[in-house]
Amino acid sequence: MKQRTIAKCVDLVGIGLHKGVPVQMRLEPLPKDSGIVLYRKDKNVKIPLHPKNVVDTKMATVLGKDGVSVSTIEHLMSAVYSYGIDNLLVILDNDEVPIMDGSAIAYCMLLDEARICVQNAPKKLLKIKREVKVQDGEKYALLRPSDGFALDFTIDFDHPAIGRQHYRFEFDLPSYIEQIARARTFGFLHQVQYLRSQGLALGGSLDNAIVLDEKRILNPEGLRYEDEFVRHKILDAIGDLSLFGMALMGEYEAYAASHHLNHLLTQKVLEDTRNYEVVEAKTKTMEGYVIGAACAKE
């Protein structure tokens, strides 16, 4: 299996979740072995996708370098990972990735428009060799050895519209688009009100999040899946795990995990080479679903 980038440049405009201002985003192909790079063109700073560049995980996964940051990368990166893209330049004119509808489906559509091209270099996999776990009280996230990539997530909210939800996802791209990509982020009304008092979540609305009061879901259209909440947690986890910079061979399991725990997990895996090895991908999991195209000469 070979590395992948996109076949052509594509553009998207949307609102940033926290500042509530328009953000222009452009995706451009990169040569083999370049990795995923975020570029703040308003600051002329490039930030490679890597755990060492994570600067905040409170409300979202935030990358930063030289005092310049890009927030809320996880939904875009979830889609980029799922399409098997290894090399990509993400150009932004502000400090947030557009939130779109709060899920990853808009980014999937954008990548379908860009089309995928296969590059003349072997694709690399991060193979988990032994179990690695991080924990905060009852909350935990772990990676264990596996022949493929699967995610097993449980949440438990003391709320009548959520409660305890569990979902196991055996990864492949068609299943991701059908089962995971449309699951939206969610929040509680009292949290939104507090965040706005702090100058955050100014772009949040019923158009880009599931919002709940103390008893019910406020979105008039309801849910896209009956267990949309836990599915979105899997969407987020895929985006957070994309910071490894390569496809995963391992099984992820979590209970009530957060962006912060996911970040700690990536750090803990990489701090000891006995936890993993980098191998060349031999499978063709995504072949035949995303249309391949000829890459520009590198």
Domain spanning 2-293 has what CATH number? 3.30.1700.10
Name the catalytic one among 18, 75, 232, 259. 259
- Looking at residue 289, what is its pLDDT? 38
Indicate the pTM of the whole model: 0.94
pLDDT of residue 205: 86
The mean pLDDT of the chain is 93
Q: What is the pLDDT of residue 295?
A: 64
Task: Name the token pair of 87.
Answer: 């090399």
Task: Give the start-end residues of each E strand in 30-75.
Answer: 36-40, 45-48, 54-56, 62-65, 68-70
Strand pairing report for 292-293 and 116-122: parallel
Q: Contact 204/102 with Cβ under 8 angstroms? A: no
**What pLDDT is attached to residue 247?**
96
The tens digit of pLDDT for each residue in 178-216 reads 999 999 999 898 877 777 776 666 788 899 999 999 999
Which of the four pLDDT bands, split at 50, 70 and 90, describes residue 286? very low
Q: How many CB atoms lie within 10 A of CB 48?
A: 15
Provide the residue ranges of all domains of the chain, joining segments of one domain with +. Answer: 2-293
Q: For 89-125, write each residue's pLDDT tens digit.
A: 999 999 999 999 999 999 999 999 999 999 999 999 9
Q: What is the pLDDT of residues 122-172, one digit of tens each?
A: 999 999 999 999 999 999 999 999 999 999 999 999 999 999 999 999 999
How far apart are alpha carbons 262 and 257 in whole angstroms? 7
C-beta of residue 56 within 8 angstroms of C-beta of residue 69: yes
259 assigned to active site: yes
